[in-house]
Amino acid sequence: MKNHSRRKFVNSIVGGSFGIGALPLFSFSPKAEENILGRRELPVINEVDICVLGGSCTGVFAAVRASRLGAHVAIVEKQNAFGGVATNGLVNIWHSLYNTEANKQIIAGLTAEVIERLSKRDAVIFSDESKRGYFTLNTQELKIELDELVLTYGITPYLHTLFSEPYLDGEGKLTGIIIDNKSGRGIIKAKYFIDATGDGDLCFRLGLKSYVHDFLQPPTTCAYIEGFDEEKFNSLLKKYGKEFNIPEGYVWGAKVPSTNSYMLAGTRIYGVNCATADNLTQTEIEGRRQIRAILDMIRKYDDKIKAGLVGLPSYVGIRETRHFDCLYQVSDDDALYGKNFDDAIANGSYVFDLHHQDKPGITFRWLDGTERYSRPGYPDVKGRWRKEMDVNPTYYQVPLRSLIPKKTDNLIVAGRMLDASMISFSGVRVMVNMNQLGEAAGVTSYLALDQNKKITDVSSKDVRKELAKGGSIIM
């Protein structure tokens, strides 16, 4: 563990706004060309307290929270930039930080901190009709913001680096991970591990029990398009979608702050599980085919639109793959009825949105008991999924236990692979919720390290207290 006055240093940077000239210097040491052929022993390239796998906001927030408390942290990311779905997947909306009644803030922590930082770069638009509004982000700026966070807090970044395999000692204890990158395979040793890979790659390769829901929410290839007209697009889609082999689905989008680009989430790839390599390749290519189909349709039938393709993701936007058996599974009723947990570490109010694999459109379910089936180009079908009650819940919670896999001592998950049933997951899955899981995983790992304990033995009260001290809203 480190002993330094990082907080003070951090405050001076965070408060700085424009013209931050002096980011902390890199501490990389240049290595000479060294040939690895025939080398059987893998080199240990780092030894840290906590190793985070996966550098989405969830992973970065985990790393930052642990590091702020004093842990020595490394973070491993396969892409060239942090931020995951928000940046590399181009998904630029963070949902409301308030409860469903818009009268109580339920989410803060690093999510709020990053929104504040981004607003100094004109990189946030708040849809301010009510506090229920959502945040539209310029996620290219977010990439840079996350770089700064990682560097500011002294986290060692490994970009363009693939997690390959767990590294076990003679007794089968997880003591490191094998990674692979431009310098070849190597080992990062750590005392605790946070699996924020989205697909739970570390857990899976350790042989931990996982499951896949009957209906996986389909992935989406987003795109930045200039000159996009959503209304015209929807009517073209209804008329000509078949000619261009564009699957029926659900289309949403958002302007990218400070630009003329529109982020369109208008594709969906059915029948794939992106945790398998072949499916992932298929999905990337099929997602781009659909983007081209959309543009070809516009070019052919409404040339006045002049839609131009500005950006494609560097990783398809994956909603769901496998989940892991943890100490507790969040059930559909837990979420739908807003159950309160003693060990709650996250709160959410995003609507449950079932992305069907078997039919077009989406079904939304709300905590007030109503539901709506929505299909582009058709009228909404409204109904109730339960009878009226005296008092409706206004948010749901995620318990710490749903992140702690069974039969492990020094491993915790953070992200969409949490233990959650199908409908509960459809709401819990969104980024403002996942961000909180990251923060909780970071704090929990730090406490285990500090108290020299198994992760399962860390008191959830301590976790909640430390989360609140660091800026999270704990209820």
Judged by CB, which is closer to another protein: 161, or 329? 161
Provide the 10 A C-beta neighbour count for residue 460.
17
Q: What is the distance between the alpha carbons of residues 2 and 73, in angstroms, rounded to a whole number?
A: 10
Question: Do residues 188 and 76 make contact, with C-beta atoms less than 8 angstroms apart?
Answer: yes
Nearest CB to another protein, comparing residues 141 and 353: 141
**Residue 378: CB minimum distance to another protein, A:** 24
Q: Indicate the burial class of 374 (C-beta count within 10 angstroms; 0-12, 13-18, 19 or more).
A: middle
Q: Are strands 44-53 and 184-195 parallel, antiparallel or unpaired?
A: parallel
Closest to another protein by CB, 101 or 229 = 229
Residue 290 or 363 with smaller CB distance to another protein: 290
Token pair 């946030």: residue: 124
* Cβ–Cβ < 8 Å for 472, 438: no
Q: How far is the CB of 218 from another protein (least distance, A)?
A: 14
Q: What is the DSSP letter of 326?
A: B
C-alpha–C-alpha distance, residues 97 and 117, integer Å = 16
Q: What is the DSSP letter of 116?
A: H
- Shorter beta-carbon distance to another protein: residue 88 or 394: 88
Q: How far is the CB of 437 from another protein (least distance, A)?
A: 21
Of 188 and 443, which has the nearer Cβ to another protein? 188
Report DSSP state, residue 387: -
What is the closest distance, in whole angstroms, from the C-beta atom of residue 155 to another protein in the complex? 12
Burial class (CB in 10 A: 0-12, 13-18, 19+), 47: middle
- Strand, coil or helix: 411: strand
Classify residue 245 as left (phi > 0), alpha (psi -120 to 50) or beta: left
Q: Considering the complex, state which of residue 102 and residue 309 has its C-beta at the smaller distance from another protein.
A: 309
Rounded-to-integer distance, Cα 427 and Cα 161, Å:
31
Q: How far is the CB of 166 from another protein (least distance, A)?
A: 6
Least distance in Å: CB of 346 to another protein? Answer: 27
- Nearest distance in Å: CB 317, another protein: 11
Question: Shortest Cβ distance from residue 245 to another protein (Å)?
Answer: 6
Rounded distance, CA 152 to CA 9, Å?
8
Beta carbon nearer to another protein, 92 or 436: 92
Please tell me the distance from the alpha carbon of residue 161 to that of residue 183, in angstroms, as a whole number: 10
Question: Min. distance of Cβ 36 from another protein in angstroms?
Answer: 6
Give the nearest distance from C-beta 187 to another protein in angstroms.
13
Beta carbon nearer to another protein, 181 or 370? 181
Rounded alpha-carbon distances, angstroms, from residue 30 to 26, 80, 388, 410:
11, 19, 65, 32
For residue 371, the cross-strand partners are 365, 383
Of the pair 267, 426, the CB lying nearest another protein is at 267
Pick the closer one to another protein by CB: 59 or 313: 313
Q: How far is the CB of 12 from another protein (least distance, A)?
A: 17
Least spacing, CB of residue 367 vs another protein, in Å? 35
* CA–CA distances in Å: residue 369 to residues 92, 389, 393, 433: 28, 8, 10, 21
E strand map for 64-145: 73-76, 93-94, 124-126, 135-137
Q: What's the token pair of residue 446?
A: 């730090």
Pick 97 or 291: Cβ nearer another protein:
291
> What is the C-alpha to C-alpha distance for residues 21 and 19, in angstroms, rounded to an integer?
5
350 phi/psi in degrees, rounded to 5: -65, 140
Element (DSSP H or E) covering residue 161:
none
CA torsion sign for 294, 296, 302, 307 is: positive
